[in-house]
Amino acid sequence: MELQLGLALPPPPLIPIETFDLNSYGNYETREALGTNALSWPLLKLGPADNDINNIHHHNSSSSSSSSGGGAGCKKRSFDEAPFFDEKRNVPKTLHLLLWTNQPNDEDDDPSNVLHENSSSAIFKNDGEGLVGWPPVKTWRKKVHHQIPNGGTENNRLPAVENGIGGRASKSTYVKVKMEGVPIARKIDLSVHHSFEGLTNTLMRMFGISDGNRKSFKLTYQDREGDWLLAEDVPWRTFIRSLKCLKLIRSRG
Amino acid sequence: MQKKMAYSFPDEVLEQVFSFIQSDKDRNAVSLVCKSWDEIERWCRRKVFIGNCYAVSPRMVIRRFPEVRSIKLKGKPHFADFNLVPDGWGGYVLPWIAEMAGAYPWLEEIRLKRMVVTDESLELIAKSFKNFKVLVLFSCEGFSTDGLAAIAASCKNLRELDLRESEVDDLSGHWLAHFPETCTSLVSLNISCLRSDEVSFSALERLVGRCPNLRSLRLNRAVTLDKIANILRRAPQLVDFGTGYYAAELQPDVFSNLAGAFSSCKELKSLSGFWDVVPAYLPALYSICPRLTSLNLSYATIQSPDLIKLVSHCPRLQRLLVLDYVEDSGLEELASSCKDLQELRVFPSDPFGAEPNVSLTEQGLVAVSLGCPKLRSVLYFCRRMSNAALVTIAQNRPNLTRFRLCIIEPKTPDYLTLEPLDVGFGAIVEHCKDLRRLSLSGLLTDHVFEYIGTYGKKLEMLSVAFAGDSDLGLHHVLSGCESLRKLEIRDCPFGDKALLANAAKLETMRSLWMSSCAVSFGACKLLGQKMPKLNVEVIDETEPPDSRPESCPVDKLYIYRSVAGPRFDMPPFVWTMDEAVRILH
* Residues 6 or more apart whose Cβ sits within 8 Å of residue B348: A135, A137, A141, B323, B324, B381, B408
The answer to whether B422 and B456 have CB atoms below 8 angstroms apart is no
Q: What pLDDT was estimated at residue A96?
A: 60
Around Cβ A129, how many Cβ atoms within 10 Å? 11
* Low-confidence winner among A13-22, A88-97, A156-165, B241-250 (lowest mean pLDDT): A156-165
pLDDT for residue B418 is more than 80? yes
For residue B30, is it within any domain? yes
Q: Which residue of A has its CA nearest to B485?
A: A79
Q: Determine the Cα–Cα distance for residues A218 and A31; give it in Å rounded to an integer.
A: 54
Q: Determine the Cα–Cα distance for residues B415 and B420; give it in Å rounded to an integer.
A: 9
Residue B143: strand, helix, or coil: strand
Measured between beta carbons, the chain B residues lying within 8 angstroms of A176 are 197
Q: What pLDDT was estimated at residue A118?
A: 38
Among candidate residues B422, B234, B221, the one with its CA nearest the CA of residue A144: B221
- What is the rounded average pLDDT of the residues B180-200? 88
Is A16 within 8 Å of chain B by CB? Answer: no
The answer to whether A64 and B10 have CB atoms below 8 angstroms apart is no
For residue B362, is it within any domain? no
- What is the rounded average pLDDT of the residues B282-297? 96
Q: Determine the Cα–Cα distance for residues B152 and B563; give it in Å rounded to an integer.
A: 36
Is A106 within 8 Å of chain B by CB? Answer: no
Mark yes or no for CB contact B479/A68 under 8 Å: yes
Q: What pLDDT was estimated at residue A179?
A: 85
What φ, ψ does residue B61 adopt, rounded to 5°? Answer: -65, -45
Q: What pLDDT was estimated at residue B390?
A: 98
Query: Within the 191-220 window of chain A, which residues sit less than 8 Å (CB to CB) from chain B?
Result: none
Measured between beta carbons, the chain A residues lying within 8 angstroms of B451 are 46
Name B347's bridge partners.
Answer: B323
For residue B29, is it within any domain? yes
Mark yes or no for CB contact B167/A135 under 8 Å: no
* Residues 6 or more apart whose Cβ sits within 8 Å of residue B128: B97, B100, B101, B105, B107
pLDDT for residue A61 is more than 50? no
- What is the rounded average pLDDT of the residues B343-349? 96
- What is the rounded average pLDDT of the residues A93-122? 45
- What is the rounded average pLDDT of the residues B289-308? 94
- What is the rounded average pLDDT of the residues B277-297? 95
Q: What pLDDT was estimated at residue B494?
A: 97
What φ, ψ does residue B345 adopt, rounded to 5°? Answer: -130, 125
- What is the rounded average pLDDT of the residues B172-188? 92
Query: Within the 119-148 window of chain A, which residues sit less than 8 Å (CB to CB) from chain B?
Result: 119, 122-123, 130-142, 144-148
Measured between beta carbons, the chain B residues lying within 8 angstroms of A132 are 82-84
Q: Determine the Cα–Cα distance for residues B436 and A40; give it in Å rounded to an integer.
A: 30
Mark yes or no for CB contact B481/A74 under 8 Å: no
The tens digit of pLDDT for each residue in B220-260 reads 988 888 899 999 999 999 999 999 888 888 899 999 999 99
Mark yes or no for CB contact B347/A137 under 8 Å: yes
Mark yes or no for CB contact A135/B351 under 8 Å: yes
* Low-confidence winner among A3-17, A170-184, B100-114, B312-326 (lowest mean pLDDT): A3-17
Give the closest of B279, B457, B472 to A20, CB-based. B472
**How many domains is chain B built from?**
1
The answer to whether A246 and A221 have CB atoms below 8 angstroms apart is yes
Give the closest of A22, A115, A148 to B553, CB-based. A115
Q: Which of B59, B390, B450, B454 to mutate to test the interface with A (most CBs of A within 10 A)?
A: B454
Is A8 within 8 Å of chain B by CB? Answer: no
Q: Which of A68, A90, A109, A178 to mutate to test the interface with B (most CBs of B within 10 A)?
A: A68
Would you place residue B9 in the very low, low, confident or very high pLDDT band (cuts 50, 70, 90)?
Answer: confident
Residue B153: strand, helix, or coil: helix
Which value does ipTM take for this structure?
0.88
Is A222 within 8 Å of chain B by CB? Answer: no
Measured between beta carbons, the chain B residues lying within 8 angstroms of A92 are 504
Would you place residue A206 in the very low, low, confident or very high pLDDT band (cuts 50, 70, 90)?
Answer: confident
The tens digit of pLDDT for each residue in A128-187 reads 446 889 999 987 776 554 443 333 333 333 223 333 333 333 334 678 888 887 777 777
Around Cβ B351, how many Cβ atoms within 10 Å? 19
Identify the architecture of domain A174-250 in CATH. Answer: Roll (3.10)
Q: Which residue of B has its CA nearest to A42?
A: B447
Q: What pLDDT was estimated at residue B197?
A: 66
- What is the rounded average pLDDT of the residues A118-136? 58
The tens digit of pLDDT for each residue in B485-504 reads 999 999 999 999 999 999 99
For residue B270, is it within any domain? no
Q: What pLDDT was estimated at residue B546?
A: 86
Is A49 within 8 Å of chain B by CB? Answer: no
Would you place residue B3 in the very low, low, confident or very high pLDDT band (cuts 50, 70, 90)?
Answer: low
Mark yes or no for CB contact A56/B301 under 8 Å: no
Measured between beta carbons, the chain A residues lying within 8 angstroms of B526 are 3, 97
DSSP per-residue string spanning B252-311:
HHHHHHHHHHHHT-TT--EEE--EEE-GGGGGGGTTTGGG--EEEETT----HHHHHHHH
Q: What pLDDT was estimated at residue B274?
A: 92
Would you place residue A30 in the very low, low, confident or very high pLDDT band (cuts 50, 70, 90)?
Answer: very low
Query: With the CA atoms of B420, B426, B431 and B436 taken in that order, what torsion angle do they form, in degrees rounded to the nearest 10?
Result: 110
Q: What pLDDT was estimated at residue B173?
A: 75
- What is the rounded average pLDDT of the residues A34-62? 37
Rounded alpha-carbon distances, angstroms, from residue B496 to A4, B413, B475, B560: 13, 27, 10, 17
Around Cβ B82, how many Cβ atoms within 10 Å? 19
Q: Which residue of A has its CA nearest to B251?
A: A154
Residue B483: strand, helix, or coil: coil
The tens digit of pLDDT for each residue in B419-435 reads 999 999 999 999 999 99
Residue B532: strand, helix, or coil: coil
Would you place residue B2 in the very low, low, confident or very high pLDDT band (cuts 50, 70, 90)?
Answer: low
Measured between beta carbons, the chain B residues lying within 8 angstroms of A14 are 479, 501
Which letter does DSSP use for residue A19 in this model?
Answer: G
Give the gap in angstroms from C-alpha B362 to the nearest C-alpha of chain A: 17
Would you place residue B553 in the very low, low, confident or very high pLDDT band (cuts 50, 70, 90)?
Answer: very high
Give the closest of B275, B418, B496 to A33, CB-based. B418
Q: What pLDDT was estimated at residue B580?
A: 62
Would you place residue A68 in the very low, low, confident or very high pLDDT band (cuts 50, 70, 90)?
Answer: very low
CATH number at residue B26: 1.20.1280.50
The tens digit of pLDDT for each residue in B55-68 reads 999 999 999 999 99
Q: Which residue of A has its CA nearest to B564?
A: A84
Q: Which residue of A has its CA nearest to B63?
A: A84
Would you place residue A194 in the very low, low, confident or very high pLDDT band (cuts 50, 70, 90)?
Answer: confident
Give the closest of B391, B502, B563 to A85, CB-based. B563
Around Cβ B538, how many Cβ atoms within 10 Å? 24
Would you place residue B199 in the very low, low, confident or very high pLDDT band (cuts 50, 70, 90)?
Answer: confident
Q: What pLDDT was estimated at residue B143?
A: 95
Measured between beta carbons, the chain A residues lying within 8 angstroms of B510 are 81
Measured between beta carbons, the chain B residues lying within 8 angstroms of A128 are none
Q: Which residue of B has its CA nearest to A30?
A: B469
Measured between beta carbons, the chain B residues lying within 8 angstroms of A159 are 197, 221-222, 224, 245, 275-276
Mark yes or no for CB contact A148/B352 under 8 Å: no
Mark yes or no for CB contact A115/B510 under 8 Å: no
Measured between beta carbons, the chain A residues lying within 8 angstroms of B245 are 159
Give the gap in angstroms from C-alpha B28 to the nearest C-alpha of chain A: 6
Would you place residue B7 in the very low, low, confident or very high pLDDT band (cuts 50, 70, 90)?
Answer: low
- What is the rounded average pLDDT of the residues B33-41? 92
Give the gap in angstroms from C-alpha A171 to the nearest C-alpha of chain B: 7
The tens digit of pLDDT for each residue in B566-582 reads 998 999 999 998 766 66
Mark yes or no for CB contact A68/B502 under 8 Å: yes
pLDDT for residue B51 is more than 50? yes
Mark yes or no for CB contact A33/B419 under 8 Å: yes
The tens digit of pLDDT for each residue in B303-344 reads 999 999 999 999 999 999 999 999 999 999 999 999 999 999
Helices and strands, counts by H and E, chain B = 21, 25
Give the gap in angstroms from C-alpha A218 to the nearest C-alpha of chain B: 23
Mark yes or no for CB contact B32/A118 under 8 Å: no
Q: How many CB pairs under 8 A join A and B?
A: 297
Give the closest of A68, A77, A172 to B478, CB-based. A68
Higher pLDDT, A221 or A113: A221
* Full domain range(s) for residue B31: 11-45
* Low-confidence winner among A15-24, A153-162, B432-441 (lowest mean pLDDT): A153-162
For residue B319, is it within any domain? no
Give the gap in angstroms from C-alpha B543 to the nearest C-alpha of chain A: 13
- What is the rounded average pLDDT of the residues B458-470? 98
Q: Which residue of A has its CA nearest to B167?
A: A170
The answer to whether B198 and B175 have CB atoms below 8 angstroms apart is no
Mark yes or no for CB contact B49/A146 under 8 Å: no
Mark yes or no for CB contact B87/A5 under 8 Å: no
Q: What pLDDT was estimated at residue A173?
A: 64
Give the closest of B197, B278, B350 to A146, CB-based. B350
Percentage of residues of chain B with pLDDT beyond 70: 97
Q: What is chain B's mean pLDDT, rounded? A: 94
- What is the rounded average pLDDT of the residues B91-99? 97
Name B297's bridge partners.
Answer: B322
Would you place residue B150 in the very low, low, confident or very high pLDDT band (cuts 50, 70, 90)?
Answer: very high
Measured between beta carbons, the chain B residues lying within 8 angstroms of A162 are 195
Q: Which residue of A has its CA nearest to B139?
A: A138
Would you place residue A14 in the very low, low, confident or very high pLDDT band (cuts 50, 70, 90)?
Answer: very low
Measured between beta carbons, the chain B residues lying within 8 angstroms of A1 are 496-497
Is A226 within 8 Å of chain B by CB? Answer: no
Provide, for chain B, the percentages of residues in helix, strand and coil under a 3-state DSSP scheme, each rounded to the nearest 5: 35, 20, 45
